[in-house]
Structure 1
Amino acid sequence: MTIRVTFRPDNFQPPVIQTPTPPNPVPGSSAAEGTGIGRVRKNNFVSAEKDKDKIAEILAELESYIGLETVKRFIKDLQAYVEIQKRRVQEKLISEPLVLHMIFRGNPGTGKTTVARLVGRLYKEMGVLPKGHVIECERADLVGEYIGHTAQKTRDQIKKALGGVLFIDEAYSLARGGEKDFGKEAIDALVKAMEDNKDNLVLILAGYRQEMDWFLQTNPGLRSRFPIHIDFPDYTLDELLSIGNLMFKTRQYELTKEAREALRNYLQALLHSHPYAGNARLVRNLVEKTVRKQAVRLFQKPSSSREELIKILPEDINTEAV
């Protein structure tokens, strides 16, 4: 059953993870032995106990992120689900496999890559993946220039990701060329890898919301293989301001009251005029250009005090295209 998570400013209830009732296991089968992703093996219990502090540290990092409230609740729900499967194994009860392949949908700069990296680390500490590293790639890393080249390039990326997460950004581009495009060869290789490495690989496909919906429609078999769909909305004005202020602070800059107002006014106007303005990448670019503009202003003086080097003034807010 598809799990759909949608980020919204209001307080939705956490998603409920639903799986069909499993058949009675056959002795010697994986269901009886508790293997596979989502089934944590018995020899992981001791190490999992030792890793509780690491899990708490990762979740604390997640909580420190601005926004992403729904994904924070979802990941905690996922942690609870895996932990209960461990307890069921300890009590010799049937433990259900949880397919963890995901679809991340949203505009650039809305946190998809950041969350993917955190998910990999968390899965490792939870005993779901042995390594938890994340291999990030896009179409150029998977699609070759001639028949057979694509399959090999894709297998190479899969091999690097074994034991962790393979994160493919703008995954919809793999299907843009139609039936004769080599991207289809990459998709076929990925599907096969998902079947062959059920215990050792999590695949996360990311991209714009509408394009990812179209991508899943081009290959009906893909949707059923990705039960977790997470929507990343653009950040709100207040969230963008918080992100900007944090970026300035970590660089040891401080905005004057007037500069804060100038930043708010600029971002507010940008949100109304640009369809993809509400993301952290745009704010980062704005912060970097503002810092450079402040540097140009101070460079005109023979010397600068510590306070001058820290302060960002309204005229430093770079309202040129970012």
Structure 2
Amino acid sequence: MNGQVKFIISQKHSSQQFESQEWQKIEHAFKQFVGLEHIKETLKSIAAWAVINQKREEFGLKTEKQSHHMLFYGNPGTGKTTAARVMATLLKELNILERGHLVEAERADLVGEYIGHTAVKTRELIKKAEGGILFIDEAYSLSRGGEKDFGREAIDTLVKHMEDSSGRFICILAGYKREMNGFLRMNTGLKSRFAHLLYFPDYTLNDLNHIAVNMFNIKDYKLSKPAGDRLLRSMREMGDISGNGRFVRNLTEFIIRAQAVRLLKYEELTKKDCMYISEDDVLKGIEGYKKDKQDHQ
């Protein structure tokens, strides 16, 4: 009896000490995500559920028919496309999806120019997405033409294949929350096809700063302490960032270009020179960003 107790305790300790390879893959996939804690936890749980469902099937246990089709709500630049891309790669690694590729589409990719053309285009796109994820951004644009628009045909074709081809591909529709709610009313069966509705909130200022620093690090740039402080202060002063990751991406590009202009004036360059982002680079980059934005207003 004592030996049996010891064995059970040892087994329990072992399971706490070592995580499965599947869970390590899930954790690693979302390691680079900044903010979006609720989104990360939800996507992790979806992936974990899919894996365990497969394990239950292998053991001959009852399993649920799973739908992984998703709706992503949120403003532009809040990480929706990135999340879709990460999920595609992760589900391939977990053997949930066969290919793990992401097919990005918009209205023009689905809607044809004459009767019958739309259904053909939509089916071709779905075929292309098999084994991966079909990601349709600004999906509500399919409903903008009214009752007689071919966009309705695209929606009806998509709904049918989401049911008939369940498991062969995942469909993710994305867009603004208000517009997406109106879009879902276009087809009575549309909303029921989506098991997961995820809202992507705007990033906070600290999140955006973290994203900017990550972007520089990934590209082998290092912000000096004054440069980092200046970047955070300047973003706070700009006040029109709207929690948008695209804003950060554009801003970092302008800062990198400002650094390139400064470095090209040097007679000799070191590796450290090429990595170093100065406070003046940040100031010049922000100045260039503001001017570019003003020119395009």
TM-score category of the 2 structures, normalised to the smaller one: 0.7 to 0.9
> What's the offset of the Cα at 1:54?
6.3
Give the conservation status (yes or no) of the 8 Å contact 1:55–1:122: no
Give the conservation status (yes or no) of the 8 Å contact 1:116–1:167: yes
> Among 57, 70, 76, which residue is 1:102 paired with?
70
- Whole-angstrom distance in 2 between the partners of 1:226 and 1:189: 15
Give the conservation status (yes or no) of the 8 Å contact 1:55–1:126: no
> Among 236, 240, 253, which residue is 1:273 paired with?
240
Runs of 4+ in 1 over 6 A off after TM superposition: none
Give the conservation status (yes or no) of the 8 Å contact 2:156–2:187: no
- Whole-angstrom distance in 2 between the partners of 1:234 and 1:278: 4
RMSD of the TM alignment (CA)?
2.2
> Among 205, 210, 218, which residue is 1:242 paired with?
210
Change (3 A) 1:88 1:249: closer
Give the conservation status (yes or no) of the 8 Å contact 2:68–2:196: yes
**2:240 alignment partner AA:** S
Matched with 1:129 is 97
Secondary structure of the equivalent of 1:80? Answer: helix
TM-score, length-normalised on structure 2?
0.82
Change (3 A) 1:305 1:192: same
Higher helix content, 1 or 2: 2
- Whole-angstrom distance in 2 between the partners of 1:108 and 1:137: 15
- Whole-angstrom distance in 2 between the partners of 1:83 and 1:250: 31
Matched, 1:185 2:150: no
Matched, 1:315 2:280: yes
Map residues 49-198 of structure 1 onto 2, 5 A cutoff. 53=21, 56-198=24-166
Query: Cα deviations across residues 62-118 of structure 1 (Å, max 9, x unaligned)?
Result: 123222222222233223323443344344332111221100111222211121122
- Whole-angstrom distance in 2 between the partners of 1:182 and 1:130: 31
Secondary structure of the equivalent of 2:170? Answer: strand
Matched, 1:216 2:184: yes
Secondary structure of the equivalent of 1:105? Answer: strand
> Among 196, 200, 207, which residue is 2:168 paired with?
200
Give the conservation status (yes or no) of the 8 Å contact 1:67–1:235: yes
**1:206 alignment partner AA:** A
- Whole-angstrom distance in 2 between the partners of 1:89 and 1:108: 39
Matched, 1:292 2:257: yes
Give the conservation status (yes or no) of the 8 Å contact 1:55–1:125: no
- Whole-angstrom distance in 1 between the partners of 2:228 and 2:35: 20
Matched with 2:12 is none
Which consecutive residues of structure 2, in runs of 5 or more, have no partner in the other structure? 1-19
In the alignment of these two chains, the number of paired residues is 268
> What's the offset of the Cα at 1:301?
4.0
Give me the identity figure in percent.
48
Which consecutive residues of structure 1, in runs of 5 or more, have no partner in the other structure? 1-51
- Whole-angstrom distance in 2 between the partners of 1:199 and 1:250: 34
State which drifts further: 235-244 or 310-319: 310-319
